[in-house]
Structure 1
């Protein structure tokens, strides 16, 4: 494992959240979509499940996406801004099936705030370990999705939406047609 489990989970959740904005239609259309996202990524704490929370979570996505397009110094600025404005105070906690890991806001904080803080805390590890190269944009020409490459050999190039398979099939067909 490259990062601590909570860091990997936060990065993967952030990537999925960013990618919901690239879906047609939008991958976060209803409060139920937000609740499903929270359940999938085991976010703890209060979930309102209403239109206001949906709007707040959707508004977080562009801020998170900027992390994938920024250089190291800008990532640090963005991360520090997220942690400063949310008044993050890291503390070790243990709950559910998770052993001790970091939380930096109380569980009753708004979901959008918790997402920002957890992503910010994960970015601290990414920057400190000099692993920004693991934050990538899908290599498919027709895809703008983001991904986090947690492979040992840093070989992941495509998102989870079948782009790798689609690209490989297209290349195979082009070779067959040309040969």
Structure 2
């Protein structure tokens, strides 16, 4: 295991969030265009605290998605600056908590803070672990030419190249057809 369970959970959520963007989504459309879409996304993750279920919240989460997509691709030193800014802007104060069946883990915002702020801060806390362990190379963008999906490579040897089996199969099929095509 590379990271603490709460770090992996947060990174997994960032991947799911960013991969709702049109250039990264399976459908090629914005999969976070309605409040219901946000509810569906959140249903697979444990976000305790305030959730407003309104358009303003949706827009703020979409802004967080854009920010996190940019941070994902930064080099280690630039990521430090972005992470520190996210924590500073939220006036984050880390504390240990356990809830909803999760063991002790870190939060740094109050449960009453806006959802998008909590998303940014939890992502920042996870990125702290990634940066401190010098594993930013595990934060990847899909190698498929037509995909901007992101993923966390948690494989033992760090050799994962695609955001999904679908992208890997598609790229491999294209390469196979190119090899078999008459010259």
Q: 2:129 aligns with which of 125, 132, 153?
A: 125
Across the aligned residues of Structure 1 and Structure 2, the Cα RMSD in angstroms comes to 1.4
- Give the 3 Å change call, closer, same or farther, for CA 178–8 of structure 1 in structure 2: farther
The answer to whether structure 1 residue 160 and structure 2 residue 146 are counterparts is: no
Give the TM-score normalised by the residue count of structure 1: 0.95
Give the superposition deviation at 1:30. Answer: 0.6
Aligned to 1:32: 36
Give the superposition deviation at 1:29. Answer: 1.0
Give the superposition deviation at 1:127. Answer: 0.6
Matched-pair contact (CA < 8 Å) for 1:82–1:120: yes
Give the superposition deviation at 1:69. Answer: 2.1
What pairs up with 1:135-150 in 2 under 5 angstroms? 135-150=139-154
Give the superposition deviation at 1:176. Answer: 2.4
Give the superposition deviation at 1:49. Answer: 0.9
Q: 1:106 aligns with which of 107, 110, 117?
A: 110
Aligned to 2:82: 78
Comparing 75-84 with 63-72, which one deviates more in the overlay? 63-72
Matched-pair contact (CA < 8 Å) for 1:35–1:47: no
- Give the 3 Å change call, closer, same or farther, for CA 32–161 of structure 1 in structure 2: farther
Partner secondary structure for residue 38 of structure 1: helix
Give distance in 1, aligned partners of 2:19 and 2:145.
Answer: 16
The runs of 5 or more residues in structure 1 that have no matched partner are: none
The answer to whether structure 1 residue 65 and structure 2 residue 64 are counterparts is: no
Matched-pair contact (CA < 8 Å) for 1:83–1:117: yes
Give the superposition deviation at 1:78. Answer: 0.2
Give distance in 1, aligned partners of 2:39 and 2:165.
Answer: 21
Q: How many residues align?
A: 179
Give the TM-score normalised by the residue count of structure 2: 0.93
The answer to whether structure 1 residue 50 and structure 2 residue 54 are counterparts is: yes
Moved over 4 A (4+): none
What pairs up with 1:10-21 in 2 under 5 angstroms? 10-21=10-21
